Structure 1
Amino acid sequence: MSWFESFVLGLVQGLTEFLPISSSAHLRLTAAFAGWHDPGAAFTAITQIGTEAAVLIYFRKDIARIVSAWCRSLVNKAMRGDHDAQMGWLVIVGSIPIGVLGVTFKDQIEGPFRDLRLIATTLIVMGIILGVADRLAARDEIGGKHRAIRERKSLKELGVRDGLIFGICQAMALVPGVSRSGATISGGLLMGYTREAAARYSFLLAIPAVLASGAFELKDAGDGGHVSWGPTIFATIIAFVVGYAVIAWFMKFITTKSFMPFVIYRVLLGIALLALVGTDTLSPHAGESAG
């Protein structure tokens, strides 16, 4: 991998990680369209450490409060009913599905799941689901002639059942094109949570999964995996800087705006990709020949 490729891919990772459009799909597509080799699941997992570092800094006060309350609740029974302590447990519970499925389907994630036809399909299907979820949220927020405004749930109402559902939605993003934030936010909206609550829990939930995945890939790379360390570290730094700016913008955007621009983008991109593959303009395995 060249330094220019690492810069572009790091930029793409930072721009797309927190938006509901799938960063793994865009890394795969960028390489395919540019005629580069597929950066692979290992590169994706390691560069995601950069964007998760942005989450750690952006939500540092929330995270410090949650970790502190959770640790104190282990020795102080009176703390176990504290919202922040419970949030710590809910992040752990919500991380179980992706941990189990990630290990179980590791070979598929690094192989068949990266087929461009599957990516195009997931872009379209999950885009439509996000659109439906967003529309239902908008109806609750503005009401209508025969429909009263309905208050949506905050994270204080999050329980084990909903935490697991969020976790299952996150696990779906093991397939490129689904989008971690897109799946979890869609799930949250369909369960009746506000856009802000769904996005906030989505980002907190991603921390253990992404850091564990990155550490796993780092271990494999250290044991003889094929990783271009200089360009990969450079891409991770770029992803961190750009990712922080994007998450700050996105958290403000969702308080007043709809997800429909992302829905339209996903569906159009998926259709265009299917057309390119269907007409043999682009191979469904473009870029996969290299390590």
Structure 2
Amino acid sequence: MSLIEAIIFGIVQGISEFLPISSTAHIVITQLLFGYSFPGLAFEIFLHLASVLAVMLYFWRDIWQVAAGFCRFIVKRKDSDKTMFNFGVYILIATFITGALGYLFSDFVGESMKTPVVIATALALTGVALIFIERVHRTGNKTPDTMTKIDAVIIGLVQTLAVLPGISRSGATLVAALIRGLDRDTAVRYSFLLAIPVILGSTLLGIGDVTMEIIDYIGPLNLIVSFIISFIFSILGIIWLIDFLKKSRLIYFAVYCFLLAAFVLVYIDLNTVMEV
């Protein structure tokens, strides 16, 4: 891998991780375009770790608020901390469901699912879901005070669909949260905070894929550069998405998903068939 390619991988991961367009699909597409086939999930995990560090840095106040309120309520049982305690519980519930189901399906959803047809289909489904939430579903008004455990369970179940390359984790959680009636600010905040334990959990599960062979294959310098670039562009992606959703709509991401799905089918899938 060249240094330029490492930078491109970092940019792709950083920008796409928190946008509702599937970072996994973008990394796989980039691999196919460059002709790479990374064994295991080591490289993806490495880039995802940079993204989760970015969201932890950006939302450190929210993390502290939830963690402090959660712990204080356990110790002191003050009503003023109950909202943050419940919000923390909702994050844990969705994380547990996603982690448990993701682990069960991990053998089924492997490298064999990272094909152009699967990715294109999943991207199209992501686009349809985003259009539905914008054009059909009414905006809710639930806040952390009025969320329920059922909301967390459903969001956790829907988030599990993101094991399929092309189904956006952030898109899935946003759509599920909005369908359950969360207001947009709460849905976005919940989605970002939920990303932290989910990505960290997948990192721990996939740590065994990190070997000296993959490090030598990619190159230590390229790994460091791609990590730094992914971190920087993840921060930029978070800032941009939050600002964008205040002014614009998710339907623009739906259009992008459709266009990318068509590109994958027409260009990448056709080339793959011709090479075979």
Distance 1:269 1:220, change over 3 A: closer
Of 170, 175, 183, 2:159 maps to: 170
Aligned to 1:289: none
SS in 2 for 1:107: coil
| CA offsets 1:49-75 (integer angstroms, 9 cap, x no match) | 111111111111110011111122232
Distance 1:270 1:81, change over 3 A: same
Aligned to 2:20: 20
Of 238, 241, 248, 1:247 maps to: 238
For residues 38 and 2 of structure 1, the distance between their equivalents in structure 2, rounded to whole angstroms, comes to 14
- Cα displacement (A) at 1:115: 1.6
Distance 1:195 1:39, change over 3 A: farther
Is 2:190 the counterpart of 1:201? Answer: yes
Aligned to 1:262: 253
Between the two proteins, the alignment pairs up a number of residues equal to 273
SS in 2 for 1:152: coil
| Contact preservation (8 Å) 2:21, 2:126 | no
Structure 2 counterparts to residues 92-111 of structure 1, below 5 A: 92-111=92-111
Distance 1:284 1:273, change over 3 A: farther
| Contact preservation (8 Å) 1:18, 1:246 | yes
For residues 97 and 284 of structure 1, the distance between their equivalents in structure 2, rounded to whole angstroms, comes to 41
Partner amino acid, structure 2, of 1:208: P
Aligned to 2:51: 51
Structure 2 counterparts to residues 106-117 of structure 1, below 5 A: 106-117=106-117
Structure 2 counterparts to residues 180-199 of structure 1, below 5 A: 180-199=169-188
| CA offsets 1:234-288 (integer angstroms, 9 cap, x no match) | 312211111101101111111121111110110121123223356x3234999xx
Aligned to 2:31: 31
For residues 233 and 105 of structure 1, the distance between their equivalents in structure 2, rounded to whole angstroms, comes to 31
Is 2:225 the counterpart of 1:237? Answer: no
For residues 38 and 108 of structure 2, the distance between their equivalents in structure 1, rounded to whole angstroms, comes to 15
Question: As a proportion of its length, which structure holds more helix?
Answer: 2
Moved more, 87-96 or 228-237: 228-237
| CA offsets 1:143-168 (integer angstroms, 9 cap, x no match) | xxxxxxxx532232211100111111
Per the normalisation by structure 1, the TM-score is 0.85
Is 2:262 the counterpart of 1:282? Answer: no
Distance 1:213 1:48, change over 3 A: same
Per the normalisation by structure 2, the TM-score is 0.90
Report the RMSD for the aligned CA atoms in angstroms. Answer: 2.4
For residues 38 and 275 of structure 1, the distance between their equivalents in structure 2, rounded to whole angstroms, comes to 24
> Alignment identity in percent?
32
For residues 284 and 26 of structure 1, the distance between their equivalents in structure 2, rounded to whole angstroms, comes to 22
